Structure 1
Amino acid sequence: MSAAVSNVVSNSLLSPTLWWLELGRRLHERKTKGLAFLYLGALLAAPTLLEKPPPHLLAAVQSWFGGDDPFGLFMYVWTDLAMNKLAVLTGVAMGAGVLVEERADRSLILFMTKPVTPAGLYVLRVGSAVLATAGLYLITQLIGLALFSAQIDGFKPLAFSISGLVHVWAPIFATCLSALCAVAIGRQLGAALVSVLVLFSLVGGAFLGVYNPAWADVLAFNPFTQSVAGVTYLQSQSFGTLTGPVVGLIVLNLTLLAIGARLARRIEP
C-alpha cells in the first residue's frame, strides 16, 4: 500500500485517488484495528458503569444538570470516562508517528524522490489520520445511538447526536497535536510521551468549569472543555452555545496543522 501511495504522490497531492489510497493504508494498519476494538469495548462497558454509580458522582451530576436525570449521568460517563480517554489514545496512536515512522523505515527517502515536499506529505499523513479518527468516532456514535436508545432510561437521541458532533473534534485535536509533537521532537516515543502528558492534563480539566462555574472563563482555552459543550448543552438547550466551541476547535486544528507542516520541512530522510 505504501508503494502504491508513493507512485500516486508523483501526480498530485490533490488527487482523490491518492487520498483514497492513503486512507485505505491508514485503515488497514493494526493500530487502527486495535482502536476499533477499544471503541467497541466502550460501547459495551458504558451502560454497565451506570448500574451502581458512586454516590458522590451521582450527587454531583444531579447538581450539574438539575434533578435526577439518568441521561445526564450517562452523558457524563460516556463523554468523560470513555470518549475523552479514547480521544487521547486515538490521537497519540494516529499522530505520534507522522513522518518519523517513514524516516525510521527509510521509506521517507522514497517519497522525497517524488515531486512532493515534506510539508505536503505531512498534510497527507495527518489528513488521513484525521479522517480515520473521525470515522472511528462517528461510527461508534451511530452504533451507540441504536444501542443506547434501548438501554438507557430517558435517552435523548438528538442531544446524544449533537454532543458527538461537537466532541468528535477532541480526538481530531489530539491527532493534530500528536503529529505536531512528532515533527517537533523528531522521535516517536518522545512525541507520544509528551502528547500523553499534555492531553491527559487537558482532559483532567475538561469538566472543571461544570464542577465550578467560577472557573469556566479561565478554562475556555482548554480544547477538551470546548469539546464537551455538547454535554453542557443539556443545561442551556441552546444551539447558540455550540457555535463558538466548534468554530474555535476547527481554527485550532487548522493552526496546528499549519505549524506542523512548517516544522516538517526540517525532517531529514
Structure 2
Amino acid sequence: MTAFLRQEVRTLLRTRRTKIIAVVICYALLVFPIAMKRPPQSMVDLAGEWFDGDGSFTLFMFAYLDLSMNKVSMFAGIILVGGIVADERARGELPLLWSKPITRSRYFLVRLTGAVGVFAGIYITATLIGTVYYPSQVSGFDPAIYLGMATVHLFAAGYAVTLAGTMGVLLGRKIPAMLVSLLLLGTFVGVAFLPFYTDSPWLGWLNPFYHGVSLIGQMTTFTPADMLAPIAALLAFHIATAALGAWKVSREEQ
C-alpha cells in the first residue's frame, strides 16, 4: 500500500493538471497583494466590524481566504481528482484493476490520499512563499497569524479534493460528478462567512469551509489550542466523506 501511494504521488506530480494547479495557486498568491493595495476605506471599516483585528490586515486575510484560496482550492480539487474510478471505467480498465490483490476501497483511498497529499504540498509551499513575500507587500502583516489561519484553512481547502474524489465514485461519470462537486463546493464557499455577517455561528457547523476560516473571528487572540477544534471538525468531514466513497466503490460492479 505504501509503494502504491508513493507511485500515485509521483504520477500526479508529473501530470499537466498538477503543474497547472501549482502555477495558478502561486500566481494568485503573488498577484493578490497588488489588487489589494488600496482597498476602499468602507471595506476596511466593515472588515473591522465583522471580524477581529486591525482593519487593513483583517480585510487582507478575509479577501485572501475567500476570494483567492477558497476559489482556487475549489477548482483545484475538481481538476485534480474529478475522474477517480470514472476515468478507469471509461477506458474499460476496471476489470483489470479489480483483479489485482488490493481491495476496491483501498484502491480508492490510496488514490484519494495521494491527491490530497499532492495538493497539500502545493498549498504549504505557496503559504511559505507568502510568509516571505507578504511582509513587504501588506501593511500590518503578521506572519504568526497568517500561518495559523493558513494551517487551519489547509484542511478545508483539502476537503475540496476529498469531496470531488468521492463524487466521482458516487455518480460514476466524470462530467456529472465534476458539476455536482462544483455546485456543492461553490455553495460551501459562498456561505462560508455567513455566520460572521449574521452573528450566528451555528449556521456554519455543517460547512467545512466555515471551519476553515473560523479563526478570523479571533485573529488577535487565538492560540495554537484554538486551532484544534476547527481542525478536528475538518478531519471528521474528510473521514466521513472518504468513508462514503470507499463504501460506494467497494460495491462497484465490473
1:18 aligned residue: 4
2:126 aligned residue: 140
The alignment partner of 1:228 has SS state of helix
In 2, the alpha carbon distance for the partners of 1:185 and 1:115 equals: 25
Quote the offset at 1:264 in angstroms.
0.5
1:177 aligned residue: 163
In 2, the alpha carbon distance for the partners of 1:236 and 1:58 equals: 20
Q: Deviations over 1:232-264 (max 9, x none)?
A: 331543444322111011111011111100100
Equivalent residues in 2 for 1:48-67, closer than 5 Å: 48-65=34-51
Match of 2:104 among 118, 138, 144: 118
Q: How many residues align?
A: 254
Match of 2:213 among 224, 228, 234: 228
Quote the offset at 1:231 in angstroms.
2.5
Higher relative contact order (CA 8 A, sep 6+): 2
Task: State yes or no: 1:237 paired with 2:245.
Answer: no
2:91 aligned residue: 105
Quote the offset at 1:267 in angstroms.
2.8
In 2, the alpha carbon distance for the partners of 1:243 and 1:140 equals: 22
Structure 1 unaligned spans of 5+: 1-12
1:250 aligned residue: 235
Structure 1 residues 28, 233: CA separation in 2 closer, same or farther (over 3 Å shift)? Answer: farther
Q: Identity across aligned pairs (percent)?
A: 31
Q: TM-score, normalised by structure 2?
A: 0.93
Quote the offset at 1:113 in angstroms.
2.5
Q: TM-score, normalised by structure 1?
A: 0.88
Over the residues paired in the alignment, what is the CA RMSD in angstroms? 1.7
The alignment partner of 1:221 has SS state of coil
In structure 2, what residue type is equivalent to 1:74? F
In structure 2, what residue type is equivalent to 1:115? P
Structure 2 unaligned spans of 5+: none
Q: Which runs of 4+ in 1 moved over 6 A?
A: none
Q: Deviations over 1:190-235 (max 9, x none)?
A: 010001011111111111112221x212222211000012333315
In structure 1, what residue type is equivalent to 2:176? G
Quote the offset at 1:64 in angstroms.
2.5
Match of 2:21 among 25, 35, 46: 35
In 1, the alpha carbon distance for the partners of 2:184 and 2:175 equals: 14
